[in-house]
Amino acid sequence: MARTSHLDLWIARGVTLGAVALAFPVAAWLVFGLGVDRNATADGLAVVYSFGLFLGFTTSLWPLPSLRQWTGGDRLQSLCLLFLIVSAVTHLSWELVWLIAHDAIAASRDAAWAYPWWAYLDGGDMRYAKATPTLLMMESLSVANGLVCSLGLVLWYRSRGRDLRAVLLFMAMAVVHLYSTSLYYGGEILAGLPNVDTSSFLDSWIKFGLANLSWLVFPPCVLVWGARQLLGRERPDHAR
């Protein structure tokens, strides 16, 4: 396929994912700079984060003018690569810092630097304030998953999408996502949601529910795309 400008795709991704990136410092400024209620701010942040990520991942499926010539395989590949990149960034930023500094974060509820984590803890899942062995292991697995994905991305882009070792790493990452996210949801749900404010729709369905749903919905897309790559049904000339 000839190279064309995908400005509308980049704008769509900039609006959705850019809003997510800006929401964290803006939320901290609102709470600690302007004195806005922290729970209301956390609710707003959760909405922006949850819907922004989900919509951002699906931008290659939108009916954008520059994508009219894309096949279903083109759109799926673009979705998967974006999901993999954002996943790696998430694992090696928010989760890695929590893994290293969880005790300091738990003790710093009223510190601006810790608000990106406390915005989720406030109603979303208080397990992150306790750092149980199971949660520590799950987050360690997520960080390792981020490293695996980063290696895969390096191999993919250096080879311009021809190195199938990258595909194998992506598929392995997807499997780990499905396992760890299912354990994350299932463990809390089977326990009766003791760490989630079930009286709040936002806390239950947005902070706890939708905020993590991408890591259950999109890994199967990676597995389907990866299988097509390995079977030779799609072998791109370039990576998007």
129-172 pLDDT, tens digit each: 888 898 899 899 999 999 999 999 999 999 999 999 999 999 99
Under the banding of pLDDT at 50, 70 and 90, the label for residue 4 is low
pLDDT at 188 over 60: yes
pLDDT at 190 over 50: yes
Phi, psi of 199 (to 5 degrees): -80, -10
Q: Are 163 and 73 in contact (CB under 8 A)?
A: no
pLDDT at 237 over 50: no
Q: Are 9 and 67 in contact (CB under 8 A)?
A: yes
Query: Distance between CA atoms of 37 and 44, rounded to whole angstroms?
Result: 11
Q: Which DSSP letter does residue 204 get?
A: I
193-228 pLDDT, tens digit each: 998 888 888 888 998 889 889 999 999 999 999 999
Under the banding of pLDDT at 50, 70 and 90, the label for residue 89 is very high
